[in-house]
Structure 1
Amino acid sequence: MMPSSPTLLAGINLEDVLKVLRPLSWGAADILRAYARGEQPPHGFSKALSVDNGGEGPVSAADLAVNQWLLDGLKQSFPSAAWTLLSEETAKEKLTEGQPLAADWLWILDPLDGTKDFLQGTGEYAVHLALVHQQRPVLGVVLLPEAEELWIGVVGEGTWCENRSGERAPVRFSERTVTHELILVASRSHRDQRLEQLITALELGDSKAVGSVGCKVATILRGETDLYISLSGKSAPKDWDMAAPEAVLLAAGGAFTHADGRELTYNTGDVRQAGCLIASHGKAHATLCKKGAQAMEVIDPGFQV
């Protein structure tokens, strides 16, 4: 147990929030696993219909079901909480481009990160929940349904992994610190020529391909890999892709920044997390950022890292 249960905002402490997040997270895992297998989902949600039969397919059905499950759960558990709820599914109706939400405290949710992996059956999809205070994450949950891992990170308190029984496992960052020994976790897709050039310039060790951002960060937390790079091109990841993975990595003592060292900020009026973003176990982060920023000046002059 943690030695204290800090107050997150008026009348709500951390342990109260975690008591709600645990069953919500495992409920989300059960919903997603059912849709992934074409089975009847729990908690009253409808089985996915094929597009040919007038449905939206398993991804849309799963996305919407988990979105409703999480939002309803948070609203019912904390009906008077002074926070705002935002998810990938509600962004279009809630957000106005260029205008941040009027919220000091904001939940940012992604009910299904890694839709390609969900469809392809790799198991490398995740659920992201992050509580952001004044544009920075203070609490993050990354749920890996197929791995049965619930990563919880509280900035200033630490990060751990829980199973369904509530048993905790610690973060196990690797001991690798020399750049040419570091192992990169990368996407199977979203790899353009600039990213390949950047990876070459960093002169890293091995690499591993993994799906969801949450799954990628989990490999760093387990010590299997050491860094992840996001390099935006025609599109960029969004707040809900990065907030929870950053929170669990940051709380563990790792780092997740732009290549020039700038912090990621959320609820800025632009949900895109554009630029060259580097997530790592932190032990060589400054070196990685320096080399990355220098390489991008050559690879794509004028690119805002």
Structure 2
Amino acid sequence: MMPAAACMPPGIDEQALLAELRRLSWGAADILLAYGRGEQPPYGFPPALSVDEGGEGPVSAADLAVNQWLLDGLVKAFPDAGWTLLSEETAKEQLTAGQPLDAEWLWILDPLDGTKDFLQGTGEYAVHLALAHHGEPVLGVVLLPEMEELWIGLVPQARAWCENRAGEQRPASLSPRQALGDLVLVASRNHRDQRLEQLLEALALGDTKAIGSVGGKVATILRGETDLYISLSGKSAPKDWDMAAPEAVLRAAGGAFTHADGRRLSYNDGDIRQAGCLIASHGRSHQQLCDKAAGAMAVIDPGFPV
């Protein structure tokens, strides 16, 4: 049995960590907003917004600048912390397929979730920071720079809230909708194959809202605008850094984020893909959603590992 997740690593003060995460998050927002507006970014980062095609899609100077800002900031603020830092931009150098990192405490970072949205100017991008203990997220941060929203979730304490630059806080506000036909789905504009369309038809949900990043999608659930998000994928699945922080904040707020068969998402297990039928929801109808989705997938694609 996996050890129970602790709240904070030994020697790390929760309030000191949250204060540093606020500073780093709003600094990341300043970097991204400057790049997005064609202005000189702060903290000495280069002004040119170059774009290269990496293994998973476009990587911009903004991704790399925020990555450096977050990693350097955590190392400088907590030089003796017993944690390991992993980000989307460092994963190729750090990870070996099939081998988990030797890390009891692991930061899982995505410096820019929704790079295509950022480059297209939709504003629907996010920054993800998650701290996992024995592979389970215990703290999550989802930053939405364009909306000036900083979502923070502490899973063991079941506390989640949103704050702005002034530090004004408001709690998550999950919707009261419960009947499946009333639930509002938040979905991607792209990434919608025939299997997903068939699954959504079988679930017979209510309205649909389209949002770019995973962090942005989950934020709509936290605000009560939508009720669920479904990720259905195999080889080209989202990665650990796409899901860890949104999952932590949603679970801390009282929502749920699991596979359709009820399994928890697993992190740092040697496979960074979050494949299968994953359902994030406000929690009220989660079991019903999972049962119906698993049954539908058994017909749509027999043998698909949900």
**TM-score category (smaller protein):** over 0.9
What is the letter of the counterpart of residue 118 of structure 1? Answer: F
Q: What is the correspondence of 1:60-139 to structure 2 with a 5 Å cutoff?
A: 60-139=60-139
Counterpart residue number, 2:289: 288
Distance in 1 (alpha carbons) for counterparts of 2:266 and 2:59? 28
Q: Is 1:271 paired with 2:272? A: yes
Partner SS, residue 160 of structure 1 = strand
State the TM-score, normalized to the length of structure 1: 0.95
Alignment-derived partner of residue 260 in structure 1: 261
Structure 2 residue matching 1:38: 3-state secondary structure = coil
Aligned runs of 1:1-305 on 2, under 5 Å? 8-50=8-50, 59-157=59-157, 158-305=159-306
Q: Which amino acid aligns with 2:29?
A: A
The answer on whether the counterparts of 1:185 and 1:227 sit within 8 Å (CA) in structure 2 is yes
In 2, Cα distance between equivalents of 1:239 and 1:215: 16
Contact 1:249/1:255, CA 8 A, preserved across alignment: yes
Counterpart contact for 2:49–2:60, Cα < 8 Å:
no
Give the distance between the partners of 2:121 and 2:60, measured in 1 at CA.
Answer: 15
In the TM superposition, what is the alpha-carbon distance from 1:261 to its structure 2 partner?
A: 0.2
Distance in 1 (CA, whole Å) between partners of 2:78 and 2:16 is 10
- Whole-angstrom distance in 2 between the partners of 1:59 and 1:18: 28
**Offset from partner CA, 1:104-138 (integer Å, 9 cap, x none):** 00000000001111111110000000000001000
Structure 2 letter corresponding to 1:264: L
CA shift digits 1:191-215 (9 cap, x unpaired): 0000011011001000000000000
Instruction: Tell me how far 1:51 sits from its aligned partner.
Output: 6.2
CA distance in structure 2 between the partners assigned to 1:96 and 1:62 by the alignment:
26
How many percent of aligned residue pairs carry the same amino acid? Answer: 76
* Secondary structure at the counterpart of residue 146 of structure 1: helix
Q: For the residues of structure 2 that align with 1:159 and 1:120, how far apart are their CA atoms?
A: 30
Task: Give unmatched runs, 5+ long, in structure 2.
Answer: 1-5, 53-57
Deviation at 1:7, TM superposition (A): 5.6
CA contact 1:136–1:266 (8 Å) conserved in 2: yes
Could you list the runs of 4 or more consecutive aligned residues of structure 1 that deviate by over 4 angstroms after TM superposition?
Answer: 49-52
1:59–1:118 Cα contact (<8 Å) kept:
no
